[in-house]
Amino acid sequence: MSEVVSMVFGGLVPGFVCGLLAFRVKSRWCPRCGGPTDDLRRAVRR
């Protein structure tokens, strides 16, 4: 039983981490123009 639980968590944890990293990378780029969102954040702060 514990082997099954460790196998499930062993597969879920790396997938979860990869999903978080993919979201962070995706949020760096504007979906409309493809430009970086860093410029947009700087403009909003001013």
Tokens for 13, please give them.
């944890």
The answer to whether 24 touches 16, Cβ cutoff 8 Å, is no
Residue with tokens 């860093």: 38
In tens, the pLDDT along 9-40 reads 888 998 888 888 777 666 677 777 877 877 65
6 or 46, which is more confident?
6
Domain locations along the chain: 2-45
What's the rounded Cα separation, in Å, for the pair 30 and 38?
10
Residue 28's pLDDT is 75
Residue 21's pLDDT is 76
Cα distance between the two ends of the chain: 57
**The pLDDT of residue 44 is above 80:** no
Residue 39's pLDDT is 64
Cβ neighbours around 6 below 10 Å, total: 10
